[in-house]
């Protein structure tokens, strides 16, 4: 089982997922994943491989040959037994954990499934959020005519909960910490849009100045907490946010 709060629907929707802008279908898109760093290893032992995925790199390969370069294939070229437990969107950077053996995969996969892991994202959203903290509790489902976009649907959607805290209010934007409780596809992106503050640089959900503000999505998986498959001790991993200095 693969799980994540921002995971792409790769098998069904990859071609749409790597299109340029939802409002610009005629602009051709060429997948050009970053060559460096080839693989940013945060932690590795006999059970776990924790990586810092850059923005612009797929988590798992697509069907087309030109979409084979991804975090999974790069990791397996150096660590052949590594397997993918969860994913991040191509546009999202940050922490992703892989298993080094079947038992570790089962152990960590169950932690994701039972919501025993804790993840913190850093996002820069458009506009000023007036409150200091809050939560978004809105059910989500795939917007099939516009896939892989997701949408709020109170009748057919699956439950989705995101907690957030303001870090800093900037000139035109707000820096926030996002803590997903559930792990729906595009959850953080749609929930921020739903409260009127899309994540800047989001080619699926942002428009106008919010879209043109940056050439990358300002969403980064900064911390990940989980129990180690051997011994059960809580481990906390951290990856610095690359757009905080922008």
Q: Render 73-140 in DSSP notation, one character per residue.
A: HHHHHHSTT-EE-----TT-EEEEEEESSHHHHHHHHHHHHTT--EEEEEEEEES---SSEEEEE--E
Catalytic site positions: 89
Q: What percent of the chain has pLDDT over 90?
A: 86
> What tens digit of pLDDT does each residue of 8-46 get?
333 334 434 444 344 444 456 789 999 999 999 999 999
CA distance 111 to 168: 32
Output the average pLDDT for the chain: 91
- How many CB atoms are closer than 10 A to CB 170? 10
130, burial (CB in 10 Å: exposed 0-12, middle 13-18, buried 19+)? exposed
CATH of span 10-238: 3.30.2350.10
pLDDT at res. 246: 53
CA distance 75 to 126: 34
What's the pTM?
0.90
pLDDT at res. 27: 53
> What tens digit of pLDDT does each residue of 164-207 get?
999 999 999 999 999 999 999 999 999 999 999 999 999 999 99
């Amino acid at each position: 089982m693969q799980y994540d709060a921002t995971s792409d629907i790769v098998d069904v929707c990859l071609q749409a997922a790597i299109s340029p802008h939802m409002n610009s279908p005629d602009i051709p898109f060429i997948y050009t994943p970053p060559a460096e760093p080839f693989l940013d290893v945060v932690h590795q032992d006999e059970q776990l491989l924790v990586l810092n995925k850059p923005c612009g790199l797929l988590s798992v390969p697509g069907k087309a040959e030109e979409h084979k370069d991804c975090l999974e294939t790069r990791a397996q070229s150096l660590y052949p037994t590594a397997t993918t437990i969860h994913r991040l969107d191509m546009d999202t950077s940050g922490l992703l954990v892989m298993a080094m053996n079947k038992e570790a995969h089962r152990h960590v996969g169950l932690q994701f499934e039972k919501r025993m892991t804790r993840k913190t994202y850093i996002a820069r959203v458009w506009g000023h959020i007036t409150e200091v903290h809050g939560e978004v509790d809105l059910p989500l489902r795939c917007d099939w005519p516009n896939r892989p976009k997701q949408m709020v649907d109170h009748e057919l959607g699956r439950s989705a909960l995101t907690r957030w805290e303001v870090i800093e209010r900037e000139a035109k934007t707000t820096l926030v910490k996002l803590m997903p409780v559930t792990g729906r596809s595009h959850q953080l992106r749609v929930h921020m849009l739903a409260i009127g503050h899309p994540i800047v640089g989001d080619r699926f959900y942002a428009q106008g100045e919010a879209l043109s503000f940056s050439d990358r999505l300002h969403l980064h998986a900064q911390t990940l907490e989980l129990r180690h498959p051997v011994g059960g001790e809580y481990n906390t991993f951290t990856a610095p946010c690359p757009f905080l200095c922008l």
